[in-house]
Amino acid sequence: MNVRSARKTKGDDAKKYSAPALEKGLDILELLATRTKPVSQRKIASELGRSASEVFRMLTCLEERGYIHRNDSDGGFSLTMRLHNLAHNWPPSKRLLEVALPEMRNLAEQVNQSCHLGIYSSGRLYCAAQADSPLPVMISVRVTGDFSLLGTASGRVLLAFQERKLADHWIMAANPNLSDADRQDLDERLRVIRRNGFELTDSDRVDGMKDVCCPVLDLQGNAIAAIAVPYLTLLSDNTPMDEVREQLMATAKLISERMGLGEETGAKLRVP
């Protein structure tokens, strides 16, 4: 059957083609991505509703390609870092990390606080990079971890500095059952963030901690990432919050400019 004959009549949706083998492999990867411990072949087959032979062929292929690893002790399977490395080698992500990480490390050294870089991924906030505080006591966010888009400062900053249509799409992906009242509250909060240029709030996850977050912007003023500092008030070597916020805003601005202008002209930029 050729492509033309496979299409529906004009006005109907285009016919969707299935790729069973690809779907089986993706099902396995998505399942293993949710597990912190190795999963047996039998368990994978049971949870996916597949036969043992189907799963065996897929597992063998994924293992040979380096996407999964078989545990020698119990034979269970877990993901390798191959998917993570692929994502980081994708040109836009690679460029962002090359520019952002050195500046994030400088920021962490200057303010004695950790910071992390968040990006949007399928209705969630994805931690793409972390720079540790130089002090022995710090907050660390797991790189590759995903978090609530609506329930984090970084997620709300990404939404606040986004075109309305795309922001609406992201909000729907994050919570399709958001009530009208909650949506109104969220919209008002996003307006305040956009007006201020940052989010400063009590942590959504840790009592006694504050989160301060700024956007990394493209040339159109849309957020491609968000840099956040989970601020701990320390009894010694403490940097005041106002100074942390100013340094964070300067860092986010510098990364934004270098991302937009490229290496040659970006190196000449100065942040007041």
CA-based end-to-end distance of the chain: 63
Cα distance between residue 125 and residue 200, in whole Å: 17
Let me know whether 257 and 130 are in one domain.
yes
Q: Is the pLDDT of residue 4 over 60?
A: no
- Burial pattern 3-16, b for ≥16 Cβ within 10 A else e, equals eeeeeeeeeeeeee
Verify that 69 and 113 share a domain, yes or no: no
Residues 64, 94, single domain; the answer is no
Which residues are bridge partners to 205 per DSSP? none
| Average pLDDT of the chain, as a whole number | 85
Residues 153/189, Cβ–Cβ less than 8 Å: no
Confidence of residue 91 (pLDDT cuts 50, 70, 90): low
The pair of structure tokens assigned to 102 is 């050195």
pTM of the full structure: 0.67
CA distance 158 to 162: 7
Q: Do 64 and 155 fall into the same domain?
A: no
What's the pLDDT tens digit per position in 142-164?
A: 887 889 999 999 999 999 999 99
| Total number of domains constituting the chain | 2
Q: Provide the domain limits for residue 66.
A: 15-80
- Other C-beta atoms within 10 Å of 40: how many? 13
Mean pLDDT, residues 23-45 taken together: 90
C-alpha span between 131 and 123 (Å, rounded): 24
The verdict on 117 and 210 lying in the same domain is yes
pLDDT-based confidence at residue 268 (cuts at 50, 70, 90): very low
Asked whether the predicted pLDDT for residue 5 surpasses 90, the reply is: no
The string of DSSP codes covering 197-248 is TSEEEE-SSSTT-EEEEEEEE-TTS-EEEEEEEEE---SSSPPPHHHHHHHH
Question: Does 25 share its domain with 143?
Answer: no
Q: Read off the pLDDT band of 16 (50, 70, 90).
A: low
> At which residue do the structure tokens 């990390």 appear?
97
166-172 contacts: CB < 8 A, separation 24 or more? Answer: 166/222, 170/120, 170/123
Point out the domain boundary residue: 80, 104, 137.
80
Span 195-211, average pLDDT:
92
Is the predicted pLDDT of residue 14 greater than 80, yes or no? no
Residue 256 near residue 219, CB atoms below 8 Å: no
94 and 47 within one domain: no
When computed from its CA atoms, the radius of gyration of the chain, rounded to whole angstroms, is: 22
Average pLDDT over residues 46-55: 92
Where does 23-106 show beta strands of DSSP type E? 68-70, 77-79
Q: Is residue 224 over pLDDT 90?
A: yes
Residue 220 has pLDDT above 90, yes or no: no
133-142 confidence digits (pLDDT tens): 999 888 888 8
pLDDT of residue 190: 97
Q: In the predicted model, is pLDDT for residue 71 greater than 90?
A: no
Percent of the chain with pLDDT over 70: 86
pLDDT at 10 over 60: no
Both 222 and 126 in one domain: the answer is: yes
In this predicted structure, what is the pLDDT of residue 228?
97
User: What pLDDT is recorded for position 85?
Assistant: 67
How does residue 92 score in pLDDT terms, banded at 50, 70 and 90?
low
Q: Do 28 and 160 fall into the same domain?
A: no
Q: Is pLDDT at 183 greater than 90 in this prediction?
A: yes
Does 180 lie in the same domain as 251? yes
Is a pLDDT exceeding 50 seen at residue 118? yes
The residue ranking higher by pLDDT, 91 or 30, is 30
